[in-house]
């Protein structure tokens, strides 16, 4: 350590000082003291590459000096050779030791140190994104223990862990803690609501409790607060238990539906000779069922609107028209005892006309039978598809419920 005097203009504030709030009245008292007796203790600094000095300890005194004197004023300093990490720890230690920090400032300083020292997430960034931050390091975490060891007798892993939890409180509650409207013990109890799964609900309940007159001021009802927080957390556990029971039932029903889908798939494959069914390839039987539904629907569409169905209709209409004409001829020939067709003058006999009418009637009957078979096949396909669709739909609805409940339980 080197003790010397440097120009005030060469002294710069550090950007890692944990102290953010400075009491105006105390600042005025400090300025009067400096004017009267000078600095009681030199500022602690480290040299910068450009020849200036960074104040590691004594930022409040530096501000007071800047308000009192010009940049040429010589100021006593203790210069230390410090790495960035060492400077941060020393600044934090000095502030904690002097009890200069609010509990929130202390918490943010701890979070910055832990983040910069290899913690897997940026705590302050994550906290700002979401009040429900599960990954607050505990007192047993490596970086927490290391920080406590470096600060020494002025703190402990348990204290650091408690302070860090304050950072998940909504900003308005943190401000109330800093201003003294809410006691630190009240804030620590409220932080237990971070265990709630619904972050929006957690934040809302935190604010409700923090604004309750029973838990504010100099004599808060701590026991009542603990009971209320306990009830909220207990209610969540009860809800979780109900959700777990419901989840178990849904999973059993989903397995049953999956088995039913598998049975329907096998039955359809055996009953219908449809080449497209053989091409379906999947390890998921429900996915197979969904593809079968598409294939069956295509088959049903083809039966009712395809070429074969339309052709049969046209053929039947054409045959019925020819049958009607032959019957008229037969009537004319029979009634008038004709040997030639009254329309085309070709040779004709009643027996020949009857024979031709009989052939057409057989053809119409064949077409009607084929159309009936197609209609029957359509009915069978429709019923098979309806049964399969019911099981697939039921399974998928249960799967969606399971997914939603899984989120609640987890």
Tally of CA atoms within 13 A in the half-sphere of 221 that contains its CB = 10
Q: Over 90: is that where the pLDDT of 255 sits?
A: yes
CA 178 to chain centre: 33
Of 360, 239, 373, 378, the closest CA to residue 303 belongs to: 378
β-pair partners for 13: 55
Residue 131 has a CB neighbour count (10 Å cut-off) of 22
Q: Are residues 315 and 387 in the same domain?
A: yes
Q: Which range, of 63-72, 124-133, 259-268, 401-410, averages the lowest pLDDT?
A: 124-133
Q: Over 80: is that where the pLDDT of 153 sits?
A: no
Tokens of 327: 């019957």
**Mean pLDDT calculated for residue range 9-37:** 79
Angle at 276 between CA 274 and CA 278, to 5 degrees: 85
Tokens of 321: 């028209």
Range of the domain at 337: 286-409
Q: What percent of the chain has pLDDT over 70?
A: 88
Q: Are residues 2 and 78 in the same domain?
A: yes
410 SS3 class:
coil
CATH (domain of 63): 3.90.1530.10
Please report the sign of the dihedral spanned by the C-alpha atoms of residue 184, residue 185, residue 188, residue 190.
negative
Does residue 93 sit within a domain? no
Summarize pLDDT for 41-99 with one digit per residue, the tens.
888 889 888 989 988 888 888 888 888 888 888 989 888 888 887 888 787 777 776 65
State which of 193, 220, 247 marks the end of a domain: 220
Q: Over 50: is that where the pLDDT of 225 sits?
A: yes
Does residue 358 sit within a domain? yes
CA 107 – CA 175 distance, rounded (Å): 13
**Mean pLDDT calculated for residue range 10-14:** 88
| Domain total in the chain | 3
Angle at 95 between CA 90 and CA 99, to 5 degrees: 145
Q: What's the whole-number average pLDDT of the chain?
A: 84
Of 106, 84, 191, the closest CA to residue 156 belongs to: 106
pLDDT of residue 124: 56
- pLDDT band at residue 333, thresholds of 50, 70 and 90? confident
Tally of CA atoms within 13 A in the half-sphere of 279 that contains its CB = 6
CB of 85 closer than 8 Å to CB of 99 = no
Q: Over 90: is that where the pLDDT of 249 sits?
A: yes
Does residue 245 sit within a domain? no
Q: Are residues 394 and 294 in the same domain?
A: yes
Q: Are residues 75 and 24 in the same domain?
A: yes
Of 394, 385, 148, 164, the closest CA to residue 268 belongs to: 385
pLDDT of residue 228: 95
11: enclosing H helix or E strand: strand 11-13
Please report the sign of the dihedral spanned by the C-alpha atoms of residue 169, residue 172, residue 177, residue 182.
negative
Conformation bin of residue 337: beta by default, left when phi > 0, alpha when psi is -120 to 50: left
Q: Are residues 34 and 78 in the same domain?
A: yes
CA 273 – CA 381 distance, rounded (Å): 11
CA 269 – CA 292 distance, rounded (Å): 9
More confident of the two residues 244 and 310: 244
pLDDT of residue 267: 93
State which of 203, 220, 237 marks the end of a domain: 220
Q: Over 60: is that where the pLDDT of 130 sits?
A: no
CA 323 – CA 330 distance, rounded (Å): 10
Q: Are residues 106 and 199 in the same domain?
A: yes
Residue 24 has a CB neighbour count (10 Å cut-off) of 7
Q: Where are the beta strands (DSSP E) in 114-200?
A: none
pLDDT of residue 226: 95
Does residue 267 sit within a domain? no
CATH (domain of 364): 1.10.287
Q: Are residues 125 and 29 in the same domain?
A: no
More confident of the two residues 210 and 333: 210
Does residue 161 sit within a domain? yes
CA 296 to chain centre: 37
pLDDT of residue 308: 67
Summarize pLDDT for 282-319 with one digit per residue, the tens.
889 999 999 999 999 998 888 776 566 678 778 888 88
Q: Are residues 150 and 64 in the same domain?
A: no
Does residue 386 sit within a domain? yes
Q: Are residues 69 and 124 in the same domain?
A: no
Q: Are residues 292 and 363 in the same domain?
A: yes
β-pair partners for 106: none
State which of 220, 236, 256 marks the end of a domain: 220
Query: Which DSSP symbol is given to 153?
Result: G
pLDDT of residue 133: 47
CA 207 – CA 210 distance, rounded (Å): 5
Phi and psi, residue 363, nearest 5°: -65, -40
pLDDT of residue 132: 47
Does residue 398 sit within a domain? yes
Q: Which long-range contacts (CB under 8 A, 24 or more apart) does 85-88 make?
A: 85/116, 85/117, 87/14, 87/16, 87/46, 87/54, 87/56, 88/16, 88/112, 88/113, 88/116
Tokens of 249: 């039932």
Does residue 225 sit within a domain? no
Q: Are residues 21 and 72 in the same domain?
A: yes
Strand order in the sheet with 43-47: 2-7, 74-79, 43-47, 53-57, 11-13
β-pair partners for 334: none
Q: Are residues 76 and 115 in the same domain?
A: no
């Amino acid at each position: 350590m080197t003790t010397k005097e440097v120009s005030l203009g060469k002294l710069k504030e550090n950007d890692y000082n944990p102290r953010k709030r400075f009491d105006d009245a105390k600042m005025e008292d400090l300025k009067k003291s400096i004017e009267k007796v000078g600095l009681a203790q030199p500022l602690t600094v480290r040299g910068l590459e450009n020849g200036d000095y960074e104040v590691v300890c004594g930022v409040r005194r530096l501000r007071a000096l800047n308000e009192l004197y010009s940049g040429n004023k010589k100021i006593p300093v203790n210069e230390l050779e410090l790495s960035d990490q060492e400077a941060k720890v020393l600044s934090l230690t000095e502030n904690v030791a002097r009890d200069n920090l609010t509990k929130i400032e202390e918490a943010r300083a701890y979070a910055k140190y832990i983040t910069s020292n290899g913690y897997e997430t940026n705590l302050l960034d994550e906290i700002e994104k979401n009040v429900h931050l599960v990954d607050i390091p505990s007192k047993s975490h490596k970086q927490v223990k290391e920080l406590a060891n470096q600060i020494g007798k002025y703190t402990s892993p348990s204290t650091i862990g408690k302070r860090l939890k304050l950072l998940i409180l909504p900003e308005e509650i943190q401000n109330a803690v800093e201003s003294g409207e809410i006691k630190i013990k009240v804030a620590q109890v409220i932080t237990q609501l971070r265990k709630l799964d619904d972050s929006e609900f957690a934040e809302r309940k935190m604010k409700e409790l923090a604004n309750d007159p029973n838990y504010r001021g100099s004599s808060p009802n701590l026991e009542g607060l603990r009971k209320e927080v306990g009830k909220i957390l207990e209610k969540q556990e009860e809800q979780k238990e109900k959700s777990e029971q419901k989840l178990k039932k849904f999973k059993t029903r989903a397995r049953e539906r999956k088995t039913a889908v598998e049975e329907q798939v096998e039955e359809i494959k055996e009953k219908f000779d449809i080449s497209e069914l053989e091409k379906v390839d999947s390890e998921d039987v429900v996915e197979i069922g969904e593809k079968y539904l598409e294939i069956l629907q295509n088959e049903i569409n083809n039966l009712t609107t395809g070429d074969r169905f339309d052709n049969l209709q046209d053929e039947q209409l054409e045959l019925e028209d020819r049958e009607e004409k032959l019957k008229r001829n037969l009537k004319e020939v029979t009634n008038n005892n004709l040997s030639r067709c009254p329309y085309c003058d070709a040779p004709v006999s009643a027996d020949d006309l009857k024979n031709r009418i009989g052939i057409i009637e057989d053809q119409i009957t064949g077409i009607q039978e084929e159309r009936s078979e197609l209609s029957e096949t359509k009915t069978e396909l429709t019923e098979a598809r309806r049964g399969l669709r019911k099981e697939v739909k039921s399974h998928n609805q249960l799967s969606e419920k399971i997914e939603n409940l899984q989120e609640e339980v987890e």
